[in-house]
Structure 1
């Protein structure tokens, strides 16, 4: 019988959606029936570009950002509080989810949707729920109230979130620094896997090599986009620019389903330091220019890229277009001393295939255990911080 899986991908970050479409196609190829949910109309449209039909669960829950992708913590806290405590929001979604997942063997939560965090800690539901998340995102979530609330309250919040996460059937933590060989069982319900990366096609011979730029839709500041484009021109680089927040502006494209293929063949990648972009750079051996903002998990990712000696530079927008243009031009010129090569692309395909295979195998291997009773021995949550 064809196994049924429900995959909920939050639309706050396009990396979640990219991972979802990649894994959904892999799971369907392996014979699973996968139904997809997301959390915004824009996320639904993004998935449609990759031939994934997704239903929108709720439009009320979303992390809040300004037009330069700086996280708005207070606005996010208000949004989440309204979602969790207003009965027409999370409770309504739980009722809807209860019907959707009733005959599913696995329910994947990518990443940390509050309704599935709650359901994953409740008897009867938790044995089927799998939380998928980046390690840096979990650390950022549990530290959300550090230095913002009294220490006792901040620690209580972290313990509750850790308990919710660790009560589920399984947790899969991914990271751009992991390798396929890192598919290890950290505990009875925790696994680590490398962030999955698409297996790219050949670049059309007629298409000239260009730096591949991607900025997620939280980037909407036109001055930033123009300064970035100008800095790349100053470095003598042609560019292929993708960003939903800049669609139709000065040569920018909103969505490009082939962007990863372009990036894997590009001499240089430009993006924010998300797990997906850093994974593409690492797997396909591309230098990467990181556009950093005030987003906790991405700040952590950029710091770890430095420790891993990934070929990269970091630029930060501070409102001065001329300074940002200068920083971009200088950083791009430095990175082009070590441009991506065809050999890196060829080697990267095998690494990408190993990553995708590891994910599909791990998720499908969880299915036979999805019907274990809740009397099964559970792991302890992480020790209090």
Structure 2
């Protein structure tokens, strides 16, 4: 991609968007592209810096709202988004700031559904440069956000408006943890979720089982953290604990750039069912305990994990620490008893290192194709 200039806007609501941004930015730069990265919070800037990516904040006004257990607060989110979209000093100010970015770039990547680029991506003069990146389950959750909450006519209108905005852009890169290969349907490309390339390593025979735990920053309830670690201890598992909401609490760390490498050689992964965590479990064939919340797209992901036969167990926090700890302990014991190769998975095969590299290469190839097409027009 030598000579191509890209801008990448990754929302900081969850770190999966930022993780994908840093993976693709490094891969695109290695291929010769120039990539500028923007995000939506100071914490997002700090997270990207840990991976060697310098980013700037577009604005701090747009964000999905969550409680301390990563349950999405629909009413608060609706209010925040409406406040962002309809106040001239917010979204329209950001659009003004993004004008020179679109002017100078060959492509502008919107990961995931930032309203300013949703708007710009359907308007003449800008739409032919915007590429939306999103998980398949996230698009469905966005389009059906008001289903069952407002009259059907209004929810249907919202669905159509959002779909129109998304489909008007130059291209859509839809990803899923279990898409095996790149596929294209017109300007919509279906790609496997990118995963960090972990160095091949062998587990130490006879060592204490290890779990790689990642909880995104919306998990902040200390009772949940304590019950989780107690459950893993009860299962005889030592844990690599990463979670910004628990930084400084016991062995918890805010961030760990080597978390994927640790997960790839772990005996067990523990995380909410985001695309990134499920992709790591699938690619590196590790069983996973899914901490399920009321986040709609993650509920969809958990259902897909079950349908696809991914080795996993689901635990749910209901406010009872003892019950949750027992659930985690039982889940860990059952998964550790299964084969480390997670027999029964029906997608993903071969060496995880090679699969992860192929996934990244497929993204670089598609973006190169789109950038080259833009240069020819």
TM over 0.5: yes
Give the match for residue 106 of structure 1.
Answer: 107
Give the match for residue 377 of structure 1.
Answer: none
Which of 195, 203, 206 is matched with 2:193 structurally?
195
Give the match for residue 323 of structure 1.
Answer: 323
Q: 2:274, 2:175 → 1: CA distance?
A: 12
Give the match for residue 371 of structure 2.
Answer: 367
Answer yes or no: is the 8 Å Cα contact 2:102–2:129 preserved in 1. no
Matched, 1:333 2:337: no
| Deviation (angstroms), 1:368 | 2.1
Q: 2:236, 2:139 → 1: CA distance?
A: 39
| Correspondence list, 1:173-322, <5 A | 173-180=174-181, 183-186=182-185, 188-202=186-200, 210-322=210-322
The runs of 5 or more residues in structure 1 that have no matched partner are: 374-385
Matched, 1:57 2:58: yes
Q: 1:71, 1:301 → 2: CA distance?
A: 15
Q: 1:203, 1:184 → 2: CA distance?
A: 31
Q: 2:256, 2:375 → 1: CA distance?
A: 40
Q: 1:223, 1:352 → 2: CA distance?
A: 35
| Deviation (angstroms), 1:372 | 6.9
Q: Deviations over 1:95-143 (max 9, x none)?
A: 0000222110000000000000000000000001000000000000000
Secondary structure of the residue that 1:94 maps to in structure 2?
A: helix
Q: 1:139, 1:281 → 2: CA distance?
A: 23
Q: 2:321, 2:357 → 1: CA distance?
A: 40
Give the match for residue 4 of structure 1.
Answer: 5
**Superposition misfits of 4+ residues, deviation over 6 angstroms:** 204-208
Give the match for residue 39 of structure 2.
Answer: 38
Answer yes or no: is the 8 Å Cα contact 1:169–1:370 preserved in 2. no
Q: 2:171, 2:374 → 1: CA distance?
A: 10
Secondary structure of the residue that 1:64 maps to in structure 2?
A: coil
Answer yes or no: is the 8 Å Cα contact 1:266–1:340 preserved in 2. no
- Compared CA separation, residues 11 and 239, structure 1 to 2 (3 A): same
Q: Deviations over 1:130-186 (max 9, x none)?
A: 000000000000000001110000000000000000000000100001012xx1111
Q: 1:209, 1:217 → 2: CA distance?
A: 26
TM-score normalized by the length of structure 2: 0.95
Task: Note the aligned Cα RMSD (angstroms).
Answer: 1.9
Q: 2:95, 2:51 → 1: CA distance?
A: 27
Answer yes or no: is the 8 Å Cα contact 1:68–1:219 preserved in 2. yes
Give the match for residue 116 of structure 2.
Answer: 115
Q: 2:250, 2:236 → 1: CA distance?
A: 18
Answer yes or no: is the 8 Å Cα contact 1:128–1:371 preserved in 2. no
Secondary structure of the residue that 2:369 maps to in structure 1?
A: helix
Q: 1:122, 1:365 → 2: CA distance?
A: 22
Answer yes or no: is the 8 Å Cα contact 2:202–2:265 preserved in 1. no
Matched, 1:87 2:88: yes
Give the match for residue 345 of structure 2.
Answer: none
- Compared CA separation, residues 323 and 146, structure 1 to 2 (3 A): same
| Deviation (angstroms), 1:345 | 11
Matched, 1:350 2:354: yes
Q: 1:205, 1:136 → 2: CA distance?
A: 34
- Compared CA separation, residues 268 and 339, structure 1 to 2 (3 A): farther
| Deviation (angstroms), 1:9 | 0.5
Q: Deviations over 1:196-230 (max 9, x none)?
A: 01111245989976210000000000000000000
Greater displacement, 330-339 / 344-353: 344-353
Give the match for residue 160 of structure 1.
Answer: 161
Answer yes or no: is the 8 Å Cα contact 2:216–2:243 preserved in 1. yes
Q: 2:288, 2:373 → 1: CA distance?
A: 41
Q: 1:208, 1:47 → 2: CA distance?
A: 32
Answer yes or no: is the 8 Å Cα contact 1:172–1:191 preserved in 2. yes
